[in-house]
Structure 1
Amino acid sequence: MCQGDDPNCAHFAAHRRRFLGDLAPERRAFLKSGFVASGGAAALMAGGLTLPGAALAQASARRGAQATAHYHLPATAETVHWGYFSRSLKPQVEIASGDYVTIETLTHHANDDAERMVTGDPGAESVFLWTKERKGVARRGAGPEDAKFGPGGGLGVHICTGPVAIRGAEPGDVLEVRILDVAPRPCANPAFKGRTFGSNAAANWGYHYKDMITGDRPREVVTIYEVDATGARDWAQAVYSFRWPGVTDPAGIDHPTIDYPGLPVDHAKTKRNFDVLKGFRVPIRPHFGTMGLAPKEAEMVNSIPPSYTGGNIDNWRIGKGATLYYPVAVPGALFSVGDPHASQGDSELCGTAIECSLTGTFQFILHKKADLPGTALETLDFPMIETADDWVLSGFSYPNYLADLGPDAQNAIFSKSSIDLAMRDAFRKMRQFLMHGHGLTEDEAISLMSIAVDFGITQVVDGNWGVHAIVKKSIFPARPAS
């Protein structure tokens, strides 16, 4: 029976409304977010034009004709992996194509203000636990076990929940991930009931860091933002800011800069500026900065640079109502999600967004390799975003830096990226998309790209820089019924 997952069902729209209505109230928040207001959710409700096309959608539906299930994956010290992707991680849950999973995600910046983002929250407290005796999550990053700061060494920073294994997924398949809902994780501290908080760190890896013109230079400044956890307000406001004070971690190691994830800030040593961005309202764009599959090229992969299986793309369009398409590289696909953001601009210029814990509800559709020939997904070898109105292609300085840069790729990528390379990759991907997916000649594709495709800077802070190409669905002729 259709549970809101079969666009071919005569009662699809009603079933979808019932499914969304059954979600708990806290998972139905952010209804006034900037993304949802643009019609992202409407695409799912209407079951309109989608990238796979009717024939592929029907083939995938037939393969997963069994009743769907809905799972819940909390964020705890046992269910997250911090700072890396790995093809060898044990799945936290195994699902079938068509199933739904509600996944909790935590920001790795929560300890910038533990009182507002950790205290009273059992899941967050278990993850951020750090005493002289132990860490709740010991490995943070893809570095060696004996790294200076502990296992992983901070070579990768994002707290990722998962992985989710998709039964039957094999290399060469394509995984479709629909983001059905995004909700803030309410503050568990009674002193801040009804609110959610996030951190924006203007950090040493930011594009601005060596190009400042006032005050002590360089400097790192953290701004704490407040979000209405009920979803009644669609904007965030700054609460206070502070200069990074330098931190001595529980192991006795000094951190004069933000050089390791999850450092506990002692606010007895900070000077808080509560007179910051007064009267400014930042539109909410809740989304997941890091979301994707495990790559095959290395056993353990730094979570910072994005690549062909997704990861840290940092595109604010990866929010409610969006659909992502990923090439599957390893058996089970191994999907993980983290780096939740309340809002971010294109470029993520200072190094971070409003890093704010969120919960997402996702549906997973597996498209088998045998069904792809003749479809727009046949040659997909990069993460692709679909929204209600647009197709968004992700270009990177190096499309698959793990393969492109050789044995030292995870270090080399941080010194080799450029906007020019990312723009070239975005151009080539859009050309392929228009020619292969829509039957245009190369000359037609090039003309269309110049007059109707928007190229934008996704981010300049993640090692493998990104440029996205956006083309509106409305410019294409209607597809004949198939």
Structure 2
Amino acid sequence: MKKTILIPSLAIFIGLHSCKEQPKETTIEPEVEVVTSSKPQIQHTLTTEQTHNKFSNSIPPVLTVKSGAVIEAFTKEASDGQFNLNSTIEALDALDFEPIHPLTGPVYVEDAQPGDVLKVTLHTIELGDWGWNAILPGFGFLVDDINVKYLKLYELEKDKTEVTFKNDIKLQLNPFPGVMGVAPDTDELLSTIPPRANGGNMDDPNMSEGTVMYFPVFVEGGLFSIGDGHAVQGLGEVCGTAIETSLRIVYEIELLKDKSIKEPQYETDEYYATTGFAPTLDEAAKKATLYMVNYLEANHDLTTEEAYALCSLAGDLQIAEVVDLPNMLVTMHMKKSILNMK
């Protein structure tokens, strides 16, 4: 289908704030699916009114579903409406960080228990009407070298495939949700800014349409949320933002009782991938590699020595993001053709 000094996180600016009042939970039984196209039939719809912007087991679900439910989720752009197509650079000075990262959800999956895995298939990802990219004072990977303000706005639409950055520099669009995750096992209201074991702000452009995500479950029901739409972003997201936009996402959520992982993993038609978060790239890279060794041992009849050697010969380490401190995210990809999975 498809596709020197570290700077402070936005979390420093945001702090911990109470989440928004949650919409009343609804429980809807999935309808019998009638296959009329290659895309699954939508069974539930979540709107931009059903959002929150923290990770916590204390945030009640807005929807309860059975395994296999297909959900249409509309997401807001990362500033939660503080920018528009007429915004000027002065809007950066008035930016309130408390609403950052409105996430659509959470969704409670029946029978999901700690130790299980939620499989989330990203069937459709459509762009909103517009997007923004900014360099914020005091934020970004090169904040000690390039401390400036910058704002550029882009007109978008759901079928648009490229935008003009400047002159003849064209960018191919690749919409994806920057934040996806389940609730951590805490009633503390955690910032959405850093990636964690529950997922969160992974900012990985490989997690786009057609990708299958796997999330470890930490609390009953899982409590899955999604948001922080990006129209395009390079690996690393070094200035601190992508082209931030709203999205329409159709995803399928399934409960897996026979899989166990410590941090999110994902796969596409081309490869299987593990993720590792940590305060340093070294630590994150080691975790991503270890999780790939564990995956190869458990699923491809390899010894520890063989799996480790194969990671060296064929595993591809990638930096997903470096700006969402206190954690960074590194992934390891293993081509399915090598594993005879195609």
TM-score (norm 1): 0.59
Q: For residue 420 of structure 1, what is the aligned residue in structure 2?
A: 282
Q: How much does 1:340 deviate?
A: 0.5
Q: For residue 72 of structure 1, what is the aligned residue in structure 2?
A: 45
Q: For residue 198 of structure 1, what is the aligned residue in structure 2?
A: 131
CA distance, structure 2, for counterparts of residue 478 and residue 304 of structure 1: 35
In the alignment, residue 321 of structure 1 is paired with which amino acid? Answer: G
Q: For residue 114 of structure 1, what is the aligned residue in structure 2?
A: 84
Q: Secondary structure at the match of 1:435?
A: helix
Q: For residue 163 of structure 2, what is the aligned residue in structure 1?
A: 236
Contact 2:85–2:130 (8 Å) recurs in 1: no
In the alignment, residue 60 of structure 2 is paired with which amino acid? Answer: K
Q: For residue 143 of structure 2, what is the aligned residue in structure 1?
A: 209
Q: Secondary structure at the match of 2:337?
A: helix
Q: For residue 389 of structure 1, what is the aligned residue in structure 2?
A: 270
Go from structure 1 to structure 2 and tell me whether the alpha carbon gap of 1:115 and 1:345 turns closer, same or farther (over 3 Å shift). Answer: closer
Alignment of 1:358 onto 2:220: no
Q: How much does 1:221 deviate?
A: 1.1
TM-score (norm 2): 0.83
CA distance, structure 2, for counterparts of residue 288 and residue 442 of structure 1: 34
Contact 2:56–2:186 (8 Å) recurs in 1: no
Q: How much does 1:442 deviate?
A: 2.1
**Which runs of structure 2 are paired with 1:73-472 in the superposition (5 Å)?**
73-76=46-49, 79-82=50-53, 84-109=54-79, 111=81, 113-115=83-85, 154=98, 157-185=100-128, 196-203=129-136, 204-212=138-146, 218-227=147-156, 229-231=157-159, 233-238=160-165, 277-368=166-257, 372=258, 377-378=259-260, 380-397=261-278, 417-463=279-325, 464-472=327-335
Percent same amino acid at aligned positions? 32
CA displacement, residues 430-470 of structure 1 (integer Å, 9 cap, x when unaligned): 11111222221222122211121110111001111011101
Q: Secondary structure at the match of 1:158?
A: coil
Go from structure 1 to structure 2 and tell me whether the alpha carbon gap of 1:17 and 1:467 turns closer, same or farther (over 3 Å shift). Answer: same
CA distance, structure 1, for counterparts of residue 299 and residue 198 of structure 2: 20
In the alignment, residue 102 of structure 1 is paired with which amino acid? Answer: E
Q: Which runs of 5+ in 1 are unaligned?
A: 5-14, 23-68, 118-139, 141-148, 186-195, 213-217, 239-276, 398-416
Go from structure 1 to structure 2 and tell me whether the alpha carbon gap of 1:335 and 1:116 turns closer, same or farther (over 3 Å shift). Answer: farther
More strand by share: 2
Q: Secondary structure at the match of 1:362?
A: strand
CA distance, structure 2, for counterparts of residue 279 and residue 352 of structure 1: 22
Q: Which runs of 5+ in 2 are unaligned?
A: 1-30, 88-94
CA distance, structure 1, for counterparts of residue 158 and residue 117 of structure 2: 35
In the alignment, residue 349 of structure 1 is paired with which amino acid? Answer: V
In the alignment, residue 135 of structure 2 is paired with which amino acid? Answer: A
CA distance, structure 1, for counterparts of residue 193 and residue 158 of structure 2: 31
Contact 1:314–1:459 (8 Å) recurs in 2: yes
CA distance, structure 1, for counterparts of residue 124 and residue 105 of structure 2: 18
Contact 1:296–1:329 (8 Å) recurs in 2: yes
CA distance, structure 2, for counterparts of residue 457 and residue 366 of structure 1: 29
CA distance, structure 1, for counterparts of residue 301 and residue 222 of structure 2: 30
Q: Whose Rg is larger?
A: 1
CA distance, structure 1, for counterparts of residue 303 and residue 38 of structure 2: 44
- Runs in 1 of length 4+ with deviation above 4 angstroms? none
Q: Secondary structure at the match of 1:444?
A: helix
In the alignment, residue 81 of structure 1 is paired with which amino acid? Answer: H
Equivalent residues, number = 303
The more displaced of 303-312 and 470-479 is: 470-479
In the alignment, residue 386 of structure 1 is paired with which amino acid? Answer: E
Q: Secondary structure at the match of 1:457?
A: strand
Contact 2:39–2:123 (8 Å) recurs in 1: no
Q: How much does 1:90 deviate?
A: 1.7
Alignment of 1:474 onto 2:341: no
Q: How much does 1:19 deviate?
A: 4.2
**Whose relative contact order is higher, 1 or 2, with alpha carbons under 8 Å and at least 6 apart?**
2
Aligned Cα RMSD in Å?
Answer: 2.3
Go from structure 1 to structure 2 and tell me whether the alpha carbon gap of 1:359 and 1:175 turns closer, same or farther (over 3 Å shift). Answer: same
